[in-house]
């Protein structure tokens, strides 16, 4: 009983400090982003003092300094980004297709392994290990597409395409 009382007290202290820390972080965020309010305990999104349009303008319609200049065409940039994501998805689908082929081959070899003799099992085991390694390489390439492709698509695309070509040559 005494142990649970100590634990409860410790949890209360931790919760209070987390709440205090959260309020401090929220206050700093509000000050940096221009949504500072004199009443720290009030809800940033409350509609009591402003109508809906003002609340959305304050929080969601803020533009960084480089966007207010009007020199960039963001619709074209958005279209390029959408086209890049389409290319990323197509290349990702190619990798998933190759993984699917490897999975089917793995299953076939596993069935052969069950009925093979001792010398056949060792060669099949080597092929199974190679397929496992190839699948791992493909999974890494797939994650690389979406993790690094957003920032350096040309480089990632060429690396992954070269990887696919080399794997198809080694079949």
Same domain, residue pair 52 and 90: no
Q: Residue 130: what pLDDT?
A: 94
The parts of the chain modelled with pLDDT lower than 50 are 39-50, 53, 55-63, 65-69, 71
Q: Contact, 145 vs 88, CB < 8 A?
A: yes
Question: What pTM does this model have?
Answer: 0.55
Q: Is residue 69 part of a domain?
A: no
Q: Are residues 51 and 86 in the same domain?
A: no
Q: Is residue 107 part of a domain?
A: yes
Q: Is 144 part of any domain?
A: yes
Residue 84 shares a structural domain with residue 158: yes
134 assigned to some structural domain: yes
Report how many domains make up the chain. Answer: 2
Please check whether residues 89 and 160 belong to one and the same domain: yes
User: What is the model's pLDDT at position 75?
Assistant: 78
Q: Residue 79: is it exposed, middle or buried by C-beta count within 10 angstroms (0-12/13-18/19+)?
A: exposed
**Same domain? 107 vs 55:** no
Whether 52 and 83 share a structural domain: no
Residue 74 is predicted with a pLDDT of 61
- C-alpha to C-alpha distance for 90 and 134, rounded to whole angstroms: 20
In a domain, 42, yes or no: no
Same domain, 97 and 146: yes
- Give the model's pLDDT for residue 43: 47
What residues make up the domain containing 26? 2-37+47-60
**Do 52 and 93 reside in the same domain of the chain?**
no
Same domain, 51 and 125: no
């Amino acid at each position: 009983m005494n142990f649970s009382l100590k634990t409860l007290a410790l949890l209360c202290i931790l919760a209070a400090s987390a709440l205090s820390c959260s309020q401090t972080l929220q206050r700093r965020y509000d000050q940096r982003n221009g949504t500072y309010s004199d009443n720290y305990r009030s809800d940033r999104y409350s509609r009591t003092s402003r109508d809906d349009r003002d609340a959305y303008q304050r929080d969601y319609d803020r533009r960084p300094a480089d966007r207010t200049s009007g020199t960039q065409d963001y619709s074209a940039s958005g279209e390029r980004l959408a086209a890049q994501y389409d290319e990323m998805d197509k290349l990702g689908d190619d990798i998933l297709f190759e993984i699917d082929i490897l999975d089917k081959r793995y299953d076939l070899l596993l069935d052969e392994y069950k009925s093979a003799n001792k010398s056949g099992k060792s060669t099949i085991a080597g092929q199974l290990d190679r397929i496992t390694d190839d699948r791992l390489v493909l999974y890494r390439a797939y994650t690389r597409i979406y993790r690094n492709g957003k920032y350096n698509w040309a480089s990632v695309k060429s690396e992954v395409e070269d990887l696919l070509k080399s794997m198809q040559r080694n079949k």
